[in-house]
């Protein structure tokens, strides 16, 4: 009788899923939405729901420049209305300059209404989480804590939750960030290094009204960037040494405002107030493999990129779109979802594309942080040429919008269901 009860308890507490996604952030929620409406049984595990949105709230410090490809992904899975009904700032122009070199990109030149959208990360996450809950084949487990991950090659992985439930996963998706617990549990290694710089993010109120431009200036201490937010608000990103960022962040807001006024270019306009600050180190990290039998890495769990051009979230959403496409197609063909041959299709779609973007950002960072006169001359010459050679300029613009390279279907606005 006791044996029967133990077996009965074991059967009740274990639940099988085709896909279990650990992490309900932007990328994890996008993976789930890409599978919404399919025949696959999906679970999303997230530790806590983001705070509900209120239009009267101040802007969050964590924002992203969503590309047109990212917008296509979010829109095609049905979540874009959840963004537009909350808050976003479209931008049409992007300017990059240093000393003599200066170039400005404008969406009008390639017949697009916008280059992209500055959106608070919480807004994007809320929209995707809201949408995934409309699909009957997806269970959102939130709040939930993971007590243990048991990985078995060739067999369903087990994810033990704090409430005693055990989820069996044919495919376990690591969408749990740069310090991914899933990645560590299954033994997928990474290659990483620090850039010896930090970024200070400053939320400001400006005298200027709504702006439609994002810009980046390069100075010897590191880049200075501006991202427009709705109304009279913006986000400034100040790259500098770790010690200098710590000094700036420790300042009273009034003193930081004076320091910004003395350091930043005139095009920032009059800053009325500093409203908040945050900082983070610059780091590059890349998983040595994105897959093992029954396991997949997406987003920051797979790669962390220099934030110079704001591509981290965008390549993560492309990961989500590609993985959804691969799993839906494998399901249609009756293939084992966790089979390494199936999962390597995803890796083949994304790893080299991500590596290209990471390498370009790394090269861009190192070239513009080099103060040798010949290098300075060449980069200023390059910016000057970029302003005059329209075909090359337009190609760079399209790449920044996520419209170049091998794109998953969702990024092109095509349904996969």
CATH number at residue 216: 3.30.9.10
Task: Work out whether the CA dihedral 382, 237, 107, 315 comes out positive or negative.
Answer: positive
Stronger pLDDT, 151 or 109, i.e. the higher one: 151
So what's the pLDDT on residue 8? Answer: 45
Q: Point out the domain boundary residue: 241, 258, 283.
A: 283
Residue the block writes with tokens 């890495």: 297
Is residue 417 included in any domain, yes or no? no
Q: Point out the domain boundary residue: 283, 303, 325.
A: 283
Q: How far apart are CA 339 and CA 330, in angstroms?
A: 10
Mean pLDDT of the residues in the chain: 89
Q: How many CB atoms lie within 10 A of CB 21?
A: 34
So what's the pLDDT on residue 370? Answer: 47
Q: How far apart are CA 274 and CA 259, in angstroms?
A: 11
Is pLDDT at 233 greater than 80 in this prediction? yes
Same structural domain, 255 and 325: no
Give me the half-sphere count of Cα atoms (radius 13 Å) on the Cβ side of residue 184.
Answer: 7
Is pLDDT at 322 greater than 50 in this prediction? yes
User: Per-residue confidence at 393, pLDDT binned at 50, 70, 90?
Assistant: low
Is residue 141 included in any domain, yes or no? yes
Q: How far apart are CA 200 and CA 279, in angstroms?
A: 4
So what's the pLDDT on residue 4? Answer: 45
User: Per-residue confidence at 361, pLDDT binned at 50, 70, 90?
Assistant: confident
CATH number where 180 lies: 3.50.50.60
pLDDT above 70 covers what percent of the chain? 88
Same structural domain, 46 and 137: yes
So what's the pLDDT on residue 209? Answer: 92
Stronger pLDDT, 344 or 310, i.e. the higher one: 344
> What total of structural domains would you count in the chain?
2
| Helix, strand, coil percent values for the chain (each to nearest 5) | 40, 30, 30
Specify the DSSP class assigned to residue 49. Answer: P
The DSSP line for 244-302 is HHHHHHHS-HHHHHHHHHHHS-GGG--EEEEEEEEEEEEEEEEES-SEETTEEE-GGGT
Same structural domain, 96 and 184: yes
Is residue 416 included in any domain, yes or no? no
Q: How many CB atoms lie within 10 A of CB 404?
A: 14
Is residue 165 included in any domain, yes or no? yes
Same structural domain, 138 and 59: yes
Q: Point out the domain boundary residue: 247, 262, 283.
A: 283
Q: What is the average per-residue pLDDT within 247-269?
A: 96
Tokens standing for residue 287: 């998983």
Task: Work out whether the CA dihedral 203, 198, 402, 381 comes out positive or negative.
Answer: positive
Same structural domain, 277 and 317: no
Stronger pLDDT, 402 or 297, i.e. the higher one: 297
Same structural domain, 305 and 241: no
Q: What is the average per-residue pLDDT within 339-364?
A: 90
Tokens standing for residue 233: 């608000």
> Exposed, middle or buried, 107 (CB in 10 Å: 0-12/13-18/19+)?
buried
Q: What is the average per-residue pLDDT within 110-130?
A: 96
Q: What are phi and psi of 403, to 5 degrees?
A: -105, 5
Same structural domain, 289 and 393: yes
User: Per-residue confidence at 368, pLDDT binned at 50, 70, 90?
Assistant: low
Same structural domain, 336 and 263: no
CA distances, 338 to each of 18, 117, 201, 405, 413 (Å)? 9, 35, 40, 27, 27
Q: Crossing angle, helix 121-132 and helix 26-35, to 10 degrees?
A: 30
Q: Which residues pair with 274 in a beta bridge?
A: 204
Same structural domain, 232 and 249: yes
Q: How far apart are CA 91 and CA 391, in angstroms?
A: 21
So what's the pLDDT on residue 109? Answer: 86
Same structural domain, 294 and 347: yes
Is pLDDT at 262 greater than 70 in this prediction? yes
Q: How do residues 61-87 score in pLDDT, each as one tens digit?
A: 999 999 999 999 999 999 999 999 999
Specify the DSSP class assigned to residue 50. Answer: P
Q: How many CB atoms lie within 10 A of CB 359?
A: 12
Q: Is the peptide bond before 143 cis (omega within 30 degrees of 0)?
A: yes
Same structural domain, 56 and 200: no
* Boundaries of domain holding 209: 195-283
Identify whether the C-beta of residue 294 lies closer than 8 Å to the C-beta of residue 149.
no
Q: What is the average per-residue pLDDT within 412-416?
A: 96
């Amino acid at each position: 009788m006791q044996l029967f009860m133990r077996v009965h308890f074991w059967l009740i507490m274990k639940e099988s899923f085709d896909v279990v996604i650990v992490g309900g952030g932007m990328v994890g929620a996008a993976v789930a939405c890409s599978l919404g409406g399919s025949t696959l049984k999906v679970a999303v595990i997230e530790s806590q729901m983001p705070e509900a949105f209120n239009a009267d709230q101040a802007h969050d410090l964590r924002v992203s420049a969503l590309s047109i490809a990212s917008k296509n992904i979010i829109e095609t899975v049905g979540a874009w209305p959840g963004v537009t009904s909350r808050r976003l700032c479209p931008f049409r122009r992007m300017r990059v300059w240093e000393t003599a070199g200066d170039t400005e990109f404008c969406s009008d030149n390639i017949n697009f209404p916008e280059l992209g959208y500055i959106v608070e990360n919480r807004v994007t996450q809320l929209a995707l989480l809201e949408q995934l809950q409309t699909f009957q084949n997806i269970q959102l487990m939130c709040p939930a804590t993971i007590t243990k991950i048991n990985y078995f090659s060739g067999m369903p992985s087990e994810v033990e939750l704090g409430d005693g439930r055990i989820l069996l996963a044919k495919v376990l998706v690591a969408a749990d960030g740069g310090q991914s617990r899933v990645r560590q549990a299954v033994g997928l290694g990474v290659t990483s290094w620090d850039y010896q710089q930090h970024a200070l993010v400053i939320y400001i109120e400006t005298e200027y009204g709504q702006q439609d431009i994002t810009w980046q200036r390069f100075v010897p201490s590191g880049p200075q960037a501006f991202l427009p937010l709705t109304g009279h608000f913006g986000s400034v990103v100040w790259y500098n040494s770790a010690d200098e960022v710590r000094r700036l962040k420790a300042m009273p807001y009034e003193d930081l405002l004076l320091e910004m006024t003395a350091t930043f270019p005139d095009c920032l306009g009059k800053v009325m107030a500093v409203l908040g600050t945050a900082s983070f180190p610059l780091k590059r990290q890349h998983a040595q493999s994105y897959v093992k039998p029954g396991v997949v890495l997406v987003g920051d769990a797979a790669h962390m990129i220099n934030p110079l051009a704001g591509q981290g979230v965008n390549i993560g959403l492309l990961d989500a779109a590609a993985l959804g496409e691969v799993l839906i197609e494998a399901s249609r063909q009756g293939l084992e979802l966790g089979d390494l041959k199936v999962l390597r299709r995803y890796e083949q779609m994304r790893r080299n594309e991500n590596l290209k973007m990471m390498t370009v950002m790394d090269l861009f960072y190192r070239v513009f942080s080099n103060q040798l006169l010949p290098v300075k001359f060449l980069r200023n010459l390059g910016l000057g040429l970029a302003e005059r050679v329209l075909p090359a300029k337009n190609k760079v613009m399209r790449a920044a919008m996520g419209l170049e390279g091998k794109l998953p279907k969702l990024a092109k606005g095509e349904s996969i269901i």
